[in-house]
Amino acid sequence: MSEVSFSSKRLLKLIGLFFLSLLLPAGCGFLHNARIDQLIVWCFISGMCAICFGMYMEYERLHDGTAMDAGNDYSLLAFVYLIGLAAACVAAFFPAYTAPVMAIGVLCNGTFPSKTGSAMAVYFALLAAIFCGSGTYTAAAYVALAVVSIFLTELALRQELHIWAVMLIVSMSVVIPACCCYLDTHALQPWIFAITLPGSILTVLILRVVPKLRDRVVTAEEISFDTVMDRQYHLQRMIENYSSVDYDHALRVSRVAARIAQELGADEKLAMAGGFYYRIGKLEGEPFIENGVRIAQQNCFPARLVRILEEYNGINCPPSTLESAIVQISDMIVTKFDLLDKDTFSTGWNRDIVIYQSMNEKSSEGLYDQCGLSMNQFLKIRELLVKEEMLL
């Protein structure tokens, strides 16, 4: 089941980017005393490019995924896009050839090390050239700086090549504008060196921030897990308001799944979130598996978490990951204990029998054959559930 569901969070960010793509160039043109026809053209180019960019982001998220997880809500993307757009607008107030375009390129390429970052770098370089109103050589200089940033950013982030790449970034930030200006005016302009040097220093400073932004891209799922497991998260409150029994069940499954994942060295956060939201589709009724997946997609849940919900109890498809199997086992055992009366578990023997029979029955059906759960791990889970009475 692929994610094709509507997401209001992502849509709102894309709509916001579109309107800001109109407002920022309009404000820039107003402060720059641009003619009304220039202002309209600036807004048109910026707005249409924002639409194309948004469409491409959706396609990449759903089908490619090189820049982001399917659960990405575009927060970081929107931040970098707006920084680049604002920098392009500020470039209109710089003398020709002197805007710190390479700094924008490093920010885009360093944060999104894929064709996404490359496209953003070149786009904002062209936008800066348009806004500054200079000629062909200025546009050539800015595009060249963006291309060089694509080549050098990744090298600069590698420890063994950092010094050499930084030296090239600083020198190219000054030399390329000076050379293009010479081709334009047929004279060397010393003032360009003085104005472009601070921009090269800014580029080097941004290189120190880029690794942290890239880490935010890589750890987007962990951040999402922390968010969805927050006690004040709106879906947690919805489940609690819907049914205190279901909420208590979700907490117990989540706790059991997290404990098992910790024991097996699996992703504890993923198992915890999967256990809590395993039955979220009940909020909207049948078909509750499909409804649960849709709710998760609308709220930008990480793709691995959505997959666990798709594989609920192996009804539509068997668990495909260790975490999915852990959540299924946890929910199955907690459900068994919910359904049977307390007198049934008056002795440890009866309790153990329920755990053994339930797990062996599902295993014999081949439910765990595709998830990578080894026999040793299966036995560990079974013994853990038997010994850890506080888990249930």
Q: What is the pLDDT of residues 89-128, one digit of tens each?
A: 988 888 888 888 999 999 888 888 778 888 889 999 999 9
Residues 6 or more apart whose CB falls under 8 angstroms from that of 285 comprise: 291
- The band of 66, judged by pLDDT with boundaries at 50, 70 and 90, is very low
DSSP assignment of 376-390 = HHHHHHHHHHHH-GG
What DSSP letter does each residue of 224-239 carry, written as one string? HHHHHTSTT-HHHHHH
- Residue 268 is predicted with a pLDDT of 92
Q: What is the mean pLDDT of the chain?
A: 84
- Specify whether the CB–CB gap between 17 and 81 falls below 8 A: yes
Residue 223 clears pLDDT 80, i.e. is over it: no
Q: How far is CA 214 from CA 46, 220, 366, in A?
A: 26, 10, 40
Cα distances (Å, whole numbers) of residue 230 to 223, 233, 234, 272: 11, 5, 9, 12
Q: Answer yes or no: are the C-beta atoms of 101 and 142 closer than 8 Å.
A: yes
Q: Give residue 389's pLDDT.
A: 62
Give the pLDDT mean for 72-92.
83
pLDDT of residue 2: 40
Tell which residue, 57, 77, 70, has the closest CA to residue 4.
Answer: 70
Residue % of the chain over a pLDDT of 70? 89
Neighbours of 108 (CB within 10 A): 29
Q: How confident is the model at residue 220 (pLDDT cuts 50, 70, 90)?
A: low
Q: What is the pLDDT of residue 4?
A: 44
pLDDT of residue 252: 92
| pLDDT for the residue numbered 387 | 78
pLDDT at 258 (0 to 100): 93
Averaged pLDDT for residues 280-292 = 88
What pLDDT score was predicted for residue 70? 53
297 vs 65 pLDDT, higher one: 297
pLDDT of residue 198: 87
Task: In whole angstroms, give the CA distance from residue 298 to residue 228.
Answer: 13
- Predicted model pTM: 0.60
Q: CA 104 to CA 110: how far, in whole Å?
A: 10
Q: What is the tens place of the pLDDT at every residue in 122-156? A: 999 999 998 887 788 999 999 999 999 988 888 88
Sorting pLDDT into bands at 50, 70 and 90, what band is 8? low
In angstroms, the CA 250 to CA 256 distance is 10
How do residues 337-349 score in pLDDT, each as one tens digit? Answer: 887 765 555 555 5
Distance CA 336, CA 139 (A): 69
pLDDT-above-90 percentage for the chain = 26
- 63 CB burial (10 A radius; 0-12, 13-18, 19+): exposed
pLDDT given for residue 125 in this prediction:
92
Query: What six digits make up the tokens of 223?
Result: 């951040």
**Per-residue confidence (pLDDT) for residue 72, from 0 to 100:** 60
pLDDT at 364 (0 to 100):
87
Question: How much is the average pLDDT of 264-282?
Answer: 92
Judged against a pLDDT cut of 90, whether residue 336 lies above it is answered with no
More confident site: 235 or 4: 235
**pLDDT of amino acid 176:** 92
- State which H helix or E strand residue 248 sits in: helix 244-264
Report how far apart, in Å, the C-alpha atoms of 16 and of each of 10, 55, 306 are: 10, 14, 26
